[in-house]
Structures are given as structure tokens and as C-alpha cells.
Amino acid sequence: MGSLPYAADAESPLKPAELQVLRAQYEKEGPYISLQTKFNYSWGLIKSSSRPDQQEGVLLLSDIFKTSPERRRECLYYLALGNYKLGNYAEARRYNDSLLELESGNLQAQSLGQLIDEKVSREGMVGMAIVGGVAAAVAVGVGMLVRGAQRKR
């Protein structure tokens, strides 16, 4: 449990040379990629600031999750983190909640859960403000049309 990074750690990408080392190892192993190499590379991709890298990292982790039951618990956190970074908050919450069901005292998962909730709340407020602004604009537009129709009479 202590080896899992806090969510904030994912915000600091690896140096390009560090990610390249992971990529080179991944490519070198070709069709016989070890589970650990695949896992390390996927984590490096998730830490990346590049959205395509993050997406690839989530795909690799999803594959590990499906095919390697012994790594599922570890994958839950990283899948939650990757989906959080991609803005897939429902998926992030689902993976994170699954981990918390297994380990209710997991501080990293608790921390990530708070970040997910804050982001959803913030974006919900922004979404409501946008909807409210659109509704106000529509109301003004309808009001102008009604006034214009009344003037023509």
C-alpha cells in the first residue's frame, strides 16, 4: 500500500529520457513483454502530460487488469488515476471505489477520491453556470422576439 504514489505524484511527468528508457525496454521485449515491463511503461505513460500517452497507458493497464488477476488490486489505483487525468471521472470513481472496497484505509485512494469529487463538483458548477447562461440568453432572445412580434401588431 505504501508503494502507491499519491495522486499529486501523477501530475509530475517523467523526464522524456526516463519515459524513453521504459519505452525502449517495452519495445525490446517485443512479443514476450513481461508483465512488470508493461506495467512500468503504462505508469510512465499515465504520468505523461501528453493525452495520447495517457490514453495508451490506460489501455495497457486495462489489458493487465483483464488478463492478470494477481495485479488487479494494483491496477485499480492506476486505472482510477489515469481516467482521472483523462477527465473520465465516472470511470475513475468506479475504479477508485472498487479499490476502497478492498482497502478502506488506503490513503492514496482516499486522496484520489477527494480529487475526483472536487473536480466533478467544480465542473458541475461550471456546467450549471453554462446552462444557466444559455437559458438566460434564450430567455432574452425569446423576450426580444415576443416584443418584436407585439410591435408589428
DSSP 67-113: H-GGGHHHHHHHHHHHHHHHT-HHHHHHHHHHHHHH-TT-HHHHHHH
Would you give the DSSP letter of residue 33?
-
**pTM of structure:** 0.73
Mean pLDDT to the nearest integer, 71-97: 93
Report in angstroms the alpha-carbon separations of 19 from 23, 25, 37, 49, 68.
6, 10, 12, 12, 24
On the question of pLDDT at 9 being above 50, the answer is yes
The per-residue pLDDT for range 17-67, each reduced to its tens digit, is 999 999 999 999 988 999 999 999 999 999 998 999 999 999 999 999 999
Structure confidence at residue 119 (pLDDT):
86
Q: How far apart are CA 135 and CA 119, in angstroms?
A: 24
Residue 2 has pLDDT above 80, yes or no: no
Average pLDDT, the chain: 84
